[in-house]
Amino acid sequence: MYRNIFDTHAHYTDRRFDADRLALLARLPEEGVSYVMLAGCDIADSRACIALAEQFPHVWCAVGIHPEQCSELPADWETQLREMAMHPKVRAIGEIGLDHHTAGYDAAWQREVLLRQLALAKDLALPVILHVREAMGEMMDILREHRPAGVIHCFSGSAETAREATGLGLYLGFGGTLTFRNARRAVEAAAAVPQERMLFETDCPYLAPVPHRGERCDSRMIAWVAERAAEIRGTDPQTLIDACCENAGTLFGIPLQGRSQS
């Protein structure tokens, strides 16, 4: 069993965890998962993430508006996000970004909501958790201009884009997709990213890695992601798990066991 796992992107508020959510989260540290970062998708989900994080010392959270959830926002959504972001368990603004996959999206409004949240994160000195789907070119233009601290979660860009993004100071999150048979670009990116800019994640309950593809994912499944990443990079899984945990603690300002942090 591996130790010191930091799942930097999880959705334990999802209804697929309704039957065993609290029990599962409670036992994660006994099974090698030392830290979990929850990602909020809208106002209600962000509040639920805070409430869940309050119950466990090893669970933290981010608050934000997912690009697929930005079409019907309350008039005071920014005020509500700012208020939630002041909570001591909140360590990032996210999950925010651009998603041009589903028909009918409003590209201009997605961009506006993203830019407002980037401004909020900068004002509060918080990192961002970025969602990018079929919009990497536009996202990179925004990142070059605004230079936020943060992570591109479930990174799906090329090795060249990985090098540029990390050169801008960003981290890249790798999860179950790294183990998929058709994951050529993810594999190339995982080989290219500097170790000090790599993070592990699940996006659970989604994107379970091989050999659990199609099942409900949870943070323990990072073990398979770490093994695949270690194979790609020519190292051992625990070394990468330790490095990614340290990286996450630095990015999110979370004190880790065994070291002090301001």
Give the Å distances, CA to CA, from 210 to 180, 206, 214, 215.
Answer: 6, 12, 9, 10
Query: What is the average per-residue pLDDT within 133-152?
Result: 98
Sign of the dihedral defined by the CA atoms of residues 212, 215, 217, 218, in that order: negative
pLDDT for 90 equals 98
Q: With cut-offs at 50, 70 and 90, classify the pLDDT of residue 257.
A: confident
In the predicted model, what is the mean pLDDT of the chain? Answer: 96
Q: Residue 223 sits in which domain range? A: 5-252
Q: Give domain status of residue 259, yes or no.
A: no
Q: With cut-offs at 50, 70 and 90, classify the pLDDT of residue 259.
A: low
Q: Give domain status of residue 11, yes or no.
A: yes
Helix (H) or strand (E) holding 151: strand 150-152
Rounded distance, CA 214 to CA 231, Å?
23
Q: Give domain status of residue 56, yes or no.
A: yes
Helix (H) or strand (E) holding 223: helix 222-233
Sign of the dihedral defined by the CA atoms of residues 8, 155, 195, 175, in that order: positive
pLDDT for 104 equals 85
Counting the structural domains of the chain, the total is 1
Sign of the dihedral defined by the CA atoms of residues 39, 184, 169, 34, in that order: positive
Q: Give domain status of residue 228, yes or no.
A: yes
Q: Give domain status of residue 138, yes or no.
A: yes
- Is the preceding omega at residue 95 within 30 degrees of 0, hence cis? yes
Helix (H) or strand (E) holding 230: helix 222-233
163-213 pLDDT, tens per residue?
999 999 999 999 999 999 999 999 999 999 999 999 999 999 999 999 999
Taking 90 as the threshold, does the pLDDT of residue 226 lie above it? Answer: yes
Buried b (16+ CB within 10 A) or exposed e, 21-49: beebbeebbeebbbbbbbbbbbbebbbbb
pTM over 0.85: yes
Give the Å distances, CA to CA, from 77 to 70, 117, 143, 159.
Answer: 10, 10, 23, 36
**What does DSSP say about strands 5-10 and 33-39: parallel, antiparallel, or unpaired?**
parallel
Q: Give domain status of residue 262, yes or no.
A: no
| Residue 30 DSSP symbol | G
Q: Give domain status of residue 82, yes or no.
A: yes
Give percent of the chain above pLDDT 90: 95
13-58 pLDDT, tens per residue?
999 999 999 999 999 999 999 999 999 999 999 999 999 999 999 9
pLDDT for 255 equals 94
Q: Could you tell me the CATH number of the domain that includes residue 187?
A: 3.20.20.140
